[in-house]
Chain A
C-alpha cells in the first residue's frame, strides 16, 4: 500500500480560518499532527527563492517547530538568502517535504477545528459559522 501524501507547510502558510468575526486573527492555524510524513521532492532553488517573499516567515518557523522539523531554519530571514544554497535547501525541505497526513488545524481565535484526513484539510464551514 502506497504511503499517503499530506498537507505541506507551504500550503499551511497560506491558510487562514474564515470563521465569522476572526478576520486576520484566523492566521496562522495551529497544527496538531497525529501522523507526519517526510517525503523527498526534487530541489528547485528558483521556486524556493520565489516562494520565500510570499511566506509569513515567523508562522513558517513556528509550524515547522511544532512538528519537530525546525531543520535549523533561522528565526529571521537574512539578506542575500537567494545565493545561499544550504539555506534554500533547508527551506525547500520545510516547505515541501514535511507533510501532515492526519491531524487538525485550529483557528487561533475561535478555537474551531478543521480536520486533516488522508493528507487533505477540510475547510468547510456552515453558513452560520462563516464570515459573511
Chain B
C-alpha cells in the first residue's frame, strides 16, 4: 500500500517527457489549484538517490512553465505538489538519470499519518465489519468528496465510512436498519468487552477526531424504502452494503412473517426479515443514487463477487450512472469484492427505475443472490479435504 496518495498530473522517463506530459494535462483540472488566491509549494522527492539542495532547486525552476498563479508558502501551503523521481530498487547500482519521473498533487499520506491516526484499533466505536481506515479514505477519494459536500451512507453501521468524508470537510449523514447499532447499544465487537459503553456511537467517533461539526444525523431506516422527499441532496453516496456473510442482508418485512423468531425492531416492533436479495439491494442502491445524487455526484460501493463466475457484465448498470472504476480486492481463494465507482451523468426519470428489467444483464446478475452459499461452499469443501487423511 502506498505511503502517500497523489493526483497524477504528468509523468515521463525523462524530464522532457514529463514536461510534455504536463503540458497535455487538462487545464480545467489544474486551474482550481493554481488560483491566484491559493498558496502552494513544490517538493522534490527521490527514491534511491539523494539530491543536493542546488539540484532540487534546479528542478523546481524547470517547472516555471506551469501556470501557477498562487503564492509560495513553504510552511503551511494549501496545496503541495511533488516531483517524484524513481531511481530503481538497487541501492548498489544507482542510475545517473531517473528511470521514471512523476508530477502530482499531494492528496493524503497513506499509511503513516492519516491512516495511523484514524486506525480502527483506536476508534471508540466499531462493529464486526468496520472498514480499515486506508480503504475508507480511498473510497472518499473515489467519491471526490470535498468541503461543504453532503455525503450519505445508507448502510452506515458504526459510521466508519463517514469519517474520511468529514475529514475532507463534508457534512455527513447515514441510515441503517439496525436499531441497536445506530443507537450504539448491544454487544461489543471488541475482544474482552461485553457491552458497548456510553461513548460508543457514530457521533462519538467523529468527536474523537475533532470532526463533530460535520455530523448531521443518522436514522433508523430501511435502504430499500427511502424516506426522503424528492430532490437532489447528496454529492456522494459512499457505502459498504452487507454481503450476507458477516452481516445479514435485511429489509423490513411483513407483519405476516412474525412466527419463527423473526427479529423485530426494538422500538417500533416492525419486523425485519432476512429476505433482501443481494441483486435487489444493488438495483435499489443504484436507483436511489440516480434519484438523489446531484448531477456529477458519485456512488462508491463494494460489490461482492464469486471469482470463478465473475465477468464484467455482472457489474450493475443504470442509465443515469456511468461506471468510472472497478477495482478488485481479494477476500479468499474464490471470493473478492470490487470497489465500484459510478458518476451520475443524466437526470432521473420515472421509467429509469425499471431499466434493469429490460437489461439482459439481469440474469447473470442474479448469481449474486447465491453469494452466501458459494462463499460457504468453498469453506466446507476445504474443511472436508483437510479432514480426509484423518479418516483413513
Interface residues in chain A, defined as those with a beta carbon under 8 Å from any beta carbon in chain B: 1-2, 5, 7-8, 10-11, 14-18, 24, 26-28, 41-42, 44, 46-47, 50, 54, 56, 115, 117-128, 130-131
Contacts and interface: CB of A to CB of B under 8 A. Distances in A.
Contacts of A119: 217
Contacts of A42: 213
Nearest to B148: A47
B242 interface: no
B203 interface: yes
Q: Which of under 10, 10 to 19, 20 to 34, or 35 or more describes the interface residues of B? A: 35 or more
A120 B227 contact: no
- Which 9 residue pairs of A and B lie closest in terms of their CB atoms, listed nearest first? A16-B229, A127-B254, A11-B217, A124-B270, A123-B221, A122-B220, A123-B227, A27-B229, A47-B148
A41 B216 CA distance: 11
B229 A128 contact: no
Nearest to B199: A2
Contacts of A117: 183, 267
Given A120-B220, A122-B265, A1 B198 contact: yes
Interface of B: 147-148, 171, 173, 175, 177, 179, 182-183, 198-199, 203, 213, 215-222, 225-233, 252-255, 265, 267-268, 270-272
B270 A54 contact: no
A43 to B, nearest CB: 10
Nearest to A45: B148
A120 B231 contact: no
Interface centre among A11, A126, A131 (most CB of B within 10 A): A126
A18 B227 contact: yes
Contact of A10 (B216, B254, B271): B216
Nearest to B175: A123
A17 B227 contact: yes
A42 to B, nearest CB: 5
Q: Is the interface of A mostly helix, strand, loop or mixed?
A: loop
A119 B173 CA distance: 13
B248 to A, nearest CB: 16
Given A15-B227, A15-B229, A17-B227, A123 B220 contact: yes
A122 B219 contact: yes
A44 B170 CA distance: 11
Nearest to A47: B148
B233 to A, nearest CB: 6
Given A15-B228, A115-B267, A124 B222 contact: yes
Contact of B173 (A11, A17, A28, A54): A11
Nearest to B171: A47
Contact of A126 (B217, B229, B252): B252
Given A126-B253, A126-B255, A127-B252, A54 B233 contact: yes
Contacts of A118: 183
A5 B216 contact: no
